[in-house]
């Protein structure tokens, strides 16, 4: 087959170095992009108000090469962040962490931090809806795992338990999130089943 540029396709797919680096630089960001798209759809349709929480950063040094182009050259995290997203849905506080793994058989607990668990336990104790969204990119599957189902696995690791959760256990304890064109990670359907 000849393309408009006159070159012949030999059947081999060519991937440029720029495309390869772009693919690798965006690893782990597809879940976040899908959730952000979903949250925008929820906002636009007046279903829910859910936002990604910004990580608090203390700016220390700024370089001004031009008046209109300030560049932050040094900054530090003010405090550890809590979870990725929070907001409100049908009068209930929503709070969740989103993680993506390429591992086919397990979800490493090292992906979550102690201060995040402490925050999640506080949210559940005060009646908020708290959960994890876990994507297994190798299986192209995304799961809603209630925080209450996650906590025993977290606590068990400190009593000589496993440092990960098996994929099968997440399939069993979690809920597969349906994919839709506009609401790519339609987690509200799971919340409706569980709480309303």
Q: Is residue 116 marked as binding? A: yes
Distance CA 19, CA 100 (A): 21
Please check if 40 is assigned to a binding site.
no
Residue 190 CA to its chain's centroid (Å): 16
Q: State the Cα–Cα distance between residues 85 and 116, nearest whole angstrom.
A: 12
H or E element that contains 189: helix 188-195
155 is in an annotated binding site: no
Alpha helices, DSSP H only, in 99-181?
114-125, 147-156, 167-173
Is 38 annotated as contributing to ligand binding?
Answer: no
* Residue set of the binding site for Mg(2+): 82, 84, 97, 116
* Residue set of the binding site: 82, 84, 97, 116
């Amino acid at each position: 087959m000849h393309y408009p540029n006159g070159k012949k396709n030999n059947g081999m797919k060519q991937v440029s170095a720029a495309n390869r680096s772009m693919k690798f630089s965006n690893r782990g960001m597809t879940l976040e992009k899908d959730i952000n798209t979903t949250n925008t759809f929820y906002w636009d349709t007046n279903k829910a108000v859910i936002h990604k929480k910004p990580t608090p950063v203390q700016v220390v040094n700024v370089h001004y090469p031009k008046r209109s182009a300030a560049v932050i050259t040094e900054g530090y995290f003010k405090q550890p962040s809590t979870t990725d997203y929070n907001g409100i849905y049908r009068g209930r506080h929503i709070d969740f962490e989103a993680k993506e793994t390429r591992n086919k058989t397990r979800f490493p607990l090292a992906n979550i931090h102690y201060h995040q668990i402490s925050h999640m336990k506080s949210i559940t104790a005060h009646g908020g809806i708290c959960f994890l969204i876990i994507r297994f990119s190798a299986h192209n599957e995304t799961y809603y795992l209630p925080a209450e189902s996650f906590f025993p696995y977290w606590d068990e690791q400190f009593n000589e338990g496993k440092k990960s959760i098996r994929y099968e256990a997440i399939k069993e304890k979690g809920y597969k999130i349906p994919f839709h064109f506009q609401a790519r990670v339609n987690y509200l359907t799971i919340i409706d089943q569980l709480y309303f």
